[in-house]
Structure 1
């Protein structure tokens, strides 16, 4: 089925996200941290920025950095939610915190499903005989994204005057297989389809699968160190050593530009290099 194009493509381009409730999972480091820093200055006074991660110390440091910046003095509420999204209690705590935010005057809801893990790339698909290993990976990387999104949409249903946008942080691995990356590729492909279906079911939503490109993060270091397939490992190492990776700030900036321009078909998979 064809994805639905935005009906407001001719509207003037926005320069900020208005008064919003913005939720970012995996906010303590990497792309999530950069998204928080970049979007803080694009939220109007009265907005709430909900930062979600497993590491409380890193979240508090990010909160302190934002509060000490210009954005922190502009009437922006910055809240931290320490939650393990691989368990239902973690997902439920984020939804509960979102419901409790004092943001009745918001005109936009933004949810960035960024939290994810690489999984065990030191093994090939034929070695995954233990269902518990697979279930654990999929619980954190797939089930949590669906359940959190559903919970947030239930807490903030469609109504006149509020625009809702759901972003799934995707990957090239959602559309291209990489040897010894069976968990990561499967998880990303599943997440893309979840949000493509959501776009079909909820025409009032703006939904985007965004592939941020190869980023200079701990995950890339893990991939360079542990990938079992020699060809894939060498390719990633060469990309890093030759400087062909992006900073998280670069990719986050491009994503926010896409969201402000709002010209993508809802449910689309968009790669950073296509921006």
Structure 2
């Protein structure tokens, strides 16, 4: 296993949920760590924001040998969105890449205003799990099948996880369930394929739209108050802060494949 890498190599990097928040921040940070002739595939439901990010990345890469940046406007919670993303990845010229990096960042908080016993609608639950669990498995499987292991190719899969994968939060049954399922999914993947590098990374409490949603709508009063307190006391992390730690972990490349690493543990 390599360690203390200087960059992420000549890579094809796929990021879901890339149009805003943590995904957008990761795209910017990763672009600066790629060798010339690398490619970024940015996936989101928001086409306009993706185009803005693409323009920013291409402008900043002119002096560093260029970067291929492709956008896929798709909902990865739908079968068509997953298939379109895999198809777009296969269409990018990748004969010279030495690193495949897939970051499963797309996720939603779900309805946190209600408690577990209110979720009697199977369709509602299934729709949530489709985006937050099923799509991550199907997309990862599709990408890895399209780019099988070969000599000289390093393959890395990152799952953007959460403390909620390990601890229950009242009125957050959907989110906690989805994050716990995703962690186990990628732990199994790591066990099945020892040549694959797999990481579950919990970025900590980020100052994002999702956190604002949590502060406004969380049904459990004590939990809702704790989010407001973190904001007022300046304890929320910027996406850049957390992303910097993730980049360090990926560059050092010393983590146990399948591990759950939290921002505060590093």
Decide: shared fold, TM above 0.5.
yes
- 1:132 deviates by 0.5
Residue from 217, 222, 229 that aligns with 2:220: 229
TM-score by length of 1: 0.95
CA contact (8 A) 1:66 1:72 kept: no
Partner of 2:60: 69
Please tell me whether residue 219 in structure 1 is matched to residue 232 in structure 2.
no
Q: 1:190 to 1:266 in 2, by over 3 A?
A: same
Partner of 2:114: 123
CA contact (8 A) 1:67 1:73 kept: no
Distance 1:66 1:160 in 2: 30
Secondary structure of 1:232's aligned partner: helix
Distance 2:107 2:70 in 1: 21
Partner of 1:51: 42
- 1:66 deviates by 1.1
CA contact (8 A) 2:36 2:64 kept: no
1:44-68 CA distances to partner (integer Å, 9 max, x unpaired)? 1111100000000000000111122
Q: 1:12 to 1:71 in 2, by over 3 A?
A: farther
Partner of 1:240: 231
CA contact (8 A) 2:45 2:74 kept: yes
Secondary structure of 2:6's aligned partner: coil
Secondary structure of 1:22's aligned partner: strand
Residue from 192, 196, 199 that aligns with 1:201: 192
Aligned residues: CA RMSD: 1.0
- 1:37 deviates by 0.3
**Superposition misfits of 4+ residues, deviation over 3 angstroms:** 70-73
Please tell me whether residue 31 in structure 1 is matched to residue 17 in structure 2.
no
Partner of 1:260: 251
Residue from 157, 160, 172 that aligns with 1:166: 157
CA contact (8 A) 1:46 1:103 kept: no
- 1:208 deviates by 0.2
- 1:42 deviates by 0.6
CA contact (8 A) 1:22 1:49 kept: yes
Q: 1:232 to 1:132 in 2, by over 3 A?
A: same
- 1:70 deviates by 3.9
Identify unmatched segments of 5+ residues in structure 1.
Answer: 1-7
Partner of 1:104: 95
TM-score by length of 2: 0.98
Please tell me whether residue 92 in structure 1 is matched to residue 78 in structure 2.
no
Identify unmatched segments of 5+ residues in structure 2.
Answer: none
Distance 1:240 1:111 in 2: 31
Distance 1:27 1:118 in 2: 16
Secondary structure of 1:258's aligned partner: helix
- 1:69 deviates by 1.5
